[in-house]
């Protein structure tokens, strides 16, 4: 069911975003509260968070953290200095299902396995979003293999 988010839901969503990212990101994605809508499951639990009709976040029931959309990723990259929350790739190969270690230019060393990451090119343009398969430190050391499983990719991601 799609409806406006209640004040208590906004507070809970803000807490999750602050834990997962930081308060600056949480404030930006959830303000103004009047523009926030939620889609709930049949049991009444929040599944999707929409801002001005666009899906921004999906709440993962298994981990209690958010998957972000490309729209949310653009907001986050405009707020947070590079390379925070990012995996920076060369941009010479079209990305489809994953980012390989050989494509990495730089990475946030604070990334942990299963963290939500934003894949950007050298110009800090959002290419995609996904989940880290390994830590940021290990991404820098590896010379081959999948390091990020992409969930959503910009259509024209070759730069």
Contact 58, 47 (CB under 8 A): yes
Model confidence, pTM: 0.91
Q: How confident is the model at residue 155 (pLDDT cuts 50, 70, 90)?
A: confident
CA distance 149 to 152: 9
Q: What is the pLDDT of residues 91-131, one digit of tens each?
A: 777 888 999 999 999 999 999 999 999 999 999 999 999 99
Contact 5, 37 (CB under 8 A): yes
Contact 56, 13 (CB under 8 A): no
For position 120, what pLDDT does the model report?
Answer: 95
Give one word for 44, left, alpha or beta, with left for phi > 0 and alpha for psi -120 to 50: left
For position 144, what pLDDT does the model report?
Answer: 94
For position 117, what pLDDT does the model report?
Answer: 97
For position 157, what pLDDT does the model report?
Answer: 64
Distance from the Cα of residue 146 to its chain's centroid: 18
* Mean pLDDT computed over every residue of the chain: 93
Percent of the chain at pLDDT > 70 equals 98
For position 159, what pLDDT does the model report?
Answer: 54
For position 94, what pLDDT does the model report?
Answer: 85
**What DSSP assignment string belongs to the chain?**
-EEEPPHHHHHHHHHHHHHHS-HHHHHHHH-SGGGEEEEE-TTS-EEEEEETTEEEEEE-TTTS-EEE-HHHHHHHHHHS-TTTTEEEE--SS--SSEEEGGGEEEE-TT--TT-EEEEE-TT--EEEEEEESS-HHHHHH-SSSEEEEEEEE-TT---
User: What domains are defined for the chain?
Assistant: 2-73 (3.10.450.90), 82-153 (2.30.130.10)
Q: What is the pLDDT of residues 16-32, one digit of tens each?
A: 999 999 999 999 999 99
CA distance 153 to 119: 9
Q: What is the pLDDT of residues 62-87, one digit of tens each?
A: 999 999 999 999 999 999 999 999 99
């Amino acid at each position: 069911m799609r409806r406006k988010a209640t004040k208590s839901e906004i507070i809970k969503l803000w807490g999750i975003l602050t834990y997962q990212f930081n308060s600056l990101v949480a404030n930006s994605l959830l303000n103004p509260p009047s523009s926030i809508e939620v889609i709930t499951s049949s049991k009444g639990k929040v599944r999707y968070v929409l801002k001005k009709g666009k899906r921004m976040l999906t709440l993962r029931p298994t981990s209690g953290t958010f998957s972000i959309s490309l729209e949310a990723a653009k907001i986050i990259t405009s707020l947070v200095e590079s390379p925070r929350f990012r995996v920076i790739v060369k941009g010479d190969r079209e990305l489809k299902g994953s980012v390989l270690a050989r494509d990495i230019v730089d990475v946030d060393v604070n990334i942990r396995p299963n963290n939500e990451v934003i894949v950007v090119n050298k110009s800090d343009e959002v290419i995609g979003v996904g989940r880290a398969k390994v830590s940021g430190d290990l991404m820098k050391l590896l010379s081959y293999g999948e390091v990020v499983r992409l969930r959503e990719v910009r259509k024209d991601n070759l730069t």
